[in-house]
Amino acid sequence: MKTVGMVVVLALVVLVPLSITTPVSKADGAVVIHDDGVCGMPGANANGDITFGGVGQVTHVVTNKNRQVFTCKGSDLTNLSGSGQHFEGFTCGTFAGLTTDTHATVSASGQGSMTCIVELP
């Protein structure tokens, strides 16, 4: 992947304050919260390099013991490459901390998904 300068994509998961009506379930020590915020999603430039793609929706936040998994989905994301792209190891910032245990895909039509896994202290 070509890199211009020191470009770092920071996919920031912005969790919107939870309301009492937010669906929450508990199973085997895990807490699952659905649709609770927005996230910055990766996209691709004309060369297929990672860039900011747009804003997506947090679809799941799962906390189990010392691990938190964030999953986001987005549409109308920027992908100027003309083909689907897959990215791994980019920096993802969450309120739980930073991680590079990440992967994301964005289709040629701009549909995308992203997963960030954060090890908790």
Instruction: Give the confidence band of 96 by pLDDT, cuts at 50, 70, 90.
Output: confident
Is 0.85 topped by the overall pTM?
A: no
Instruction: Give the confidence band of 7 by pLDDT, cuts at 50, 70, 90.
Output: very low
- Give the chain as a 3 state SS string: CCCCCCCCCEEEEEECCCCCCCCEEEECCEEEECCCEEEEEEEECCCCCEEEEEEEEEEEEEEECCEEEEEEEECCCCECCCCCEEEECCEEEECCEEECCEEEEECCCCCEEEEEEEECC
Instruction: Give the confidence band of 94 by pLDDT, cuts at 50, 70, 90.
Output: confident
Domain spans of the chain, in order of start = 10-15+24-119
